[in-house]
Structure 1
Amino acid sequence: MSRTLSSPVRLAAGFVAAAFVLVGPRAGAVSAGEADAAADEPYDVLFLISDDLTAGALSCYGNSVCQTPNIDALAAEGTRFTRAYCQATYCGPSRASLLSGYYPHATGVFGYVSPRPQIVDRQTWPEFFKERGYHSTRVSKIFHMGVPGGVELREGVTDPRAYDEADDARSWTERYNSPGPEWRAAGDGETLEGNPDGTRPVVGGNTFVVVEADAGDEAHSDGMTAAKAVELISRPRDEPLWLGVGFVRPHVPFVAPRPYFEPFLPYEKLALPERLEHDWDDIPKSGINYKTSVNMQMDLRKQRKALGGYYASVAFMDAQVGKVMRALEESGRRDRTIVIFTSDHGYHLGEHDFWAKVSLHEESARVPLIVSVPGKAPAVCDGFVELLDLFPTTLSLCGFEPPARLQGEDISPLLDDPAAAVRERAFCVAPNRRGFLLRDDRYAFIQYNEEASGGIELFDMHADPQQFHNLADRPAFAETVARYQGLLADKLAAVRDHDLAD
């Protein structure tokens, strides 16, 4: 049952929480070589990150139903990576990894926390730039924030630091939060998860709630975030800028202004992914995702509505990306700005009857990644890359020497030659399931627990790209499984033995 919601908190359109400025001590000296390399007019860095976004929801990645013209435009002028992978399949450890430069198993950061206690005085990605003369700024979710709880406007709360959650103060010259109404937004809403008879009221929290909201873009968190980013980009300044803009959609709740839902109505017209009868029969128990159509009690109508709500949230987020990119063009700095668009991990939209993140299957582990660098020709790159690679790559592009301690690779050669090879395979983990993924051109190998006590999955990605047939228990693939187990053991040893010293 749909019902009209009223928000207990009234928001002024365009409200963005007040900023506060943080100026910390220099955490590292700049070498003479670095200073010379960056002496010419330096590049700015604009880092755009969406939350819980599967690449398959973007039209530039082949979706014919959900149109994302603004992200598509960025992809048309940059390099679009088709095989980019996160290092952890849920928000906290993924963001801690890409921002610190370390795999989760190097730092032990597997939860929804800042990596600062583990990395101590080592510089994060934005902090590296801050200590070299950049104005580093965050708008909304870059390090982990709970959604909706961490970004939901709380009545009577006026201190913007109340919304910082797992943020790292040392990383920023200044930072801004964008609390909004989230699931309490006025409009037509329905709880899809755990609500079989449709009579319960809409509830909050990290659940599948769809709200066709009455108010416009800037009444919602991502609209506020875009407005603040536009303001910051347009602001006169003398120093180069590292700007992180974190959009919280399409993370649940699926809340967006009504117009963004219209292309997906009626929900009944939306096609759910192809499914295989008895699909779970050859998947270890550890490989069954934590959210499924079964345990969420979602019938086909609710599944289609969940898909429509997700697509509407993606379309809303895409419109905010467009506002930021138009401001960049109008600022006159587009030809001196590296622009990156990605997500912290992927998302299931009914494949295998799975929903949400955490799984190590392709939909959850693979992420969209677009990197646009002035002067570089547009391209599509099918090589393997990881989110961990963004830190050293932007350093290299901006004339800085990446510290040897960083565990990512400099993938800037792929921007000139997309056919070049930097990585043979990608590595990803699902910490709460103790799962590990090795993904190369031929196979996706998944092992649960280091001793494989939780089971193994092996998929031939040439013959079975939808990952319907687990080959791990078939005698003909015993040697293949043993080889990947050896590769995994070697990878974990290298990750943990890496010298974390500067």
Structure 2
Amino acid sequence: MKKLITVLIYSLSFCSLAQSIEKPNVLFIISDDLTTTAVSSYENSAGHTPNIDKLASEGTRYTRAYCQYPVCGPSRASMMTGYYPHGSETFGYVSGRENVGPDRLMWPQLFKENGYYTARVSKIFHMGVPGDIEKGSDGTDDPDSWTERFNSQGPEWTAEGESELVQGNPFGLLPKRGGNVMTIVKADGDDLVHADGKTAEKASELIRAHKDKPFFLAVGLVRPHVPFVAPKSYFDPYPYEEVVLPPKVVGDWDDMPDRAINYVTTKNAQMSEEQEKKAIAAYYASVSYMDAQVGKVLQTLEEEGLADNTIVIFTSDHGFHLGEHGFWMKVSLKEESVRVPLIIKVPGKKAQVCDSFVELLDLYPTISELAGIHPPDYIQGENIAPTLDDPSHEVRDMAFSVHVWNGGHSFLLRHSKWAFIQYDEDGGSGMELFDMEYDAKQFNNLAYHPAYREVVIELKQKMEDKLKEIRANDLNVK
């Protein structure tokens, strides 16, 4: 009964919104590899993200938002196609178009088909960072989604400035290295030397040029993805000597299955404690640089008088480990890697915090409905718009995320009480169970404790049911 009342209230509210805002604009901003633990409006006062924080103070901030795959390509493909990774069998660095086919509408493509100017600036579908950014290339984009598309070329790790490699450099002999590694560059020059500064400038230009007709503008910011490159001034507030490292627990890995050990660790990256601190400080600096670019785009929206007619979304494709459990970067199904910041600001809606579980997959149907466009029936996300009126509304009772790595499929069910991770569909490569009420940092694996046998059985069944539900779609995916 409560859910029915909530839906009725939302329906009346939506009708009122649709009447007052004819074809609202959509500004979708996505950061790359951003963990909630580096955003000060979430849980880290050591970070400095005033522009994201301001947006959070004006919109709905979701505390339990989860990606569907903790790697850039598959996460973005899921979000933009509207299918879970196992719904379309899309696990690689692709747009997802190959598997959903030419007749399925991507999220921005739906808006394009409904009279919107759609544009992307920089990384929305997958781009290799730093490779595609250095070349200024499209990556594995979906051209059918956009009226126009723009790339933001930047020097990345080759930028001039003080540099240091803190991964795989135990003696500190290499000043920097290209590729997907933690190279730090305290760069010379200003914001516009780098890709994100160029992205903010182009996004602002497009807002001004298209303010008289409805637009769907997707703005992809590549920081804080490695390499950690930003103008030197952004590093000044973060002296590495003052960084507090995550707690180290003796025997932390002893109760982890082999597949739970991340692909980059303090151990295999041969990082000293000093290098760990430098990596975290550089990550925060990269986040601050990215946040400044968010501020520039939002300021342009205000200056052009569009804030009252624009839905704004800010999120990331997945999280990032900063030394928790000795893990670095993404890929794992632990909390720091799969949980993401998510803020949605809708004109006329009050600022609030929502604790319901939501997934990045839910953005497609939600934003479409808010714009008065009925999303395709075949997509797999949930409409979370009722939470904009009632933050206590429960969209989901748990979140689902997956990963395919090291020869097997891994699965996460994140319940309010439990985080359950299963390696392989039968759990044959191991399981993890964490009591998130008493062990939020996930140090004690209860999966093999006799007292939790019934909990594991129940969650394994829920996992099986979820996968059956995901695969039961008209793509005929096995």
State the TM-score, normalized to the length of structure 1.
0.89
- Counterpart-to-counterpart distance in 2, 1:492 and 1:473: 23
Shift of 1:498: 2.1
- Counterpart-to-counterpart distance in 1, 2:254 and 2:85: 31
2:176 to 202, 218, 226: 202
Identity %: 57
Secondary structure, counterpart of 2:438 in structure 1:
coil
- Counterpart-to-counterpart distance in 1, 2:374 and 2:177: 49
Could you tell me which runs of 5 or more consecutive residues in structure 1 were left unpaired when the two chains were aligned: 1-33, 154-159
> Which residue number in structure 2 is paired with residue 357 of structure 1?
330
Shift of 1:346: 0.5
The one-letter code of the counterpart of 2:402 is V
The one-letter code of the counterpart of 2:435 is D
> Which residue number in structure 2 is paired with residue 44 of structure 1?
25
- Counterpart-to-counterpart distance in 1, 2:306 and 2:174: 51
1:127 to 109, 129, 152: 109
Do residues 229 (structure 1) and 203 (structure 2) align? Answer: yes
1:485 to 457, 460, 476: 460
CA deviations on 1:10-48 (whole Å, 9 max, x unpaired) are: xxxxxxxxxxxxxxxxxxxxxxxx9xx799621000000
Q: For 1:101-140, list aligned pairs within 5 A.
A: 101-120=82-101, 121-140=103-122
- Counterpart-to-counterpart distance in 1, 2:164 and 2:99: 41
Shift of 1:260: 0.2
Contact 1:405/1:500, CA 8 A, preserved across alignment: no
Could you tell me which runs of 5 or more consecutive residues in structure 2 were left unpaired when the two chains were aligned: 1-14
CA deviations on 1:163-183 (whole Å, 9 max, x unpaired) are: 011100000000000010000
1:245 to 219, 242, 246: 219
The one-letter code of the counterpart of 1:106 is G
Shift of 1:399: 1.1
> Which residue number in structure 2 is paired with residue 474 of structure 1?
449
The one-letter code of the counterpart of 1:189 is S
- Counterpart-to-counterpart distance in 2, 1:386 and 1:122: 20
> Which residue number in structure 1 is paired with residue 146 of structure 2?
172
Shift of 1:117: 1.4
2:193 to 212, 219, 225: 219
2:39 to 58, 61, 66: 58
Secondary structure, counterpart of 1:332 in structure 2:
coil
Secondary structure, counterpart of 2:62 in structure 1:
strand
- Counterpart-to-counterpart distance in 1, 2:401 and 2:76: 13
Shift of 1:200: 2.3
Do residues 100 (structure 1) and 100 (structure 2) align? Answer: no
The one-letter code of the counterpart of 1:229 is A
- Counterpart-to-counterpart distance in 2, 1:340 and 1:62: 20
- Counterpart-to-counterpart distance in 1, 2:39 and 2:211: 34
CA deviations on 1:307-355 (whole Å, 9 max, x unpaired) are: 0110000000000000000000011111010000000000100100101
The one-letter code of the counterpart of 1:134 is Y
Contact 2:88/2:475, CA 8 A, preserved across alignment: no
- Counterpart-to-counterpart distance in 2, 1:276 and 1:38: 56
Contact 2:322/2:328, CA 8 A, preserved across alignment: yes
- The count of residues paired between Structure 1 and Structure 2 equals 457
- Counterpart-to-counterpart distance in 1, 2:176 and 2:38: 26
Shift of 1:453: 1.5
Task: Classify 1:188/1:411 alpha carbon distance in 2 versus 1 (closer, same or farther; 3 Å).
Answer: same
Secondary structure, counterpart of 2:222 in structure 1:
coil
- Counterpart-to-counterpart distance in 2, 1:455 and 1:474: 13
CA deviations on 1:260-295 (whole Å, 9 max, x unpaired) are: 000012x11110111211100001000011110000
Contact 2:21/2:309, CA 8 A, preserved across alignment: no
Contact 2:191/2:231, CA 8 A, preserved across alignment: yes
Task: Classify 1:342/1:236 alpha carbon distance in 2 versus 1 (closer, same or farther; 3 Å).
Answer: closer
What's the Cα RMSD here? 1.4
> Which residue number in structure 2 is paired with residue 375 of structure 1?
348
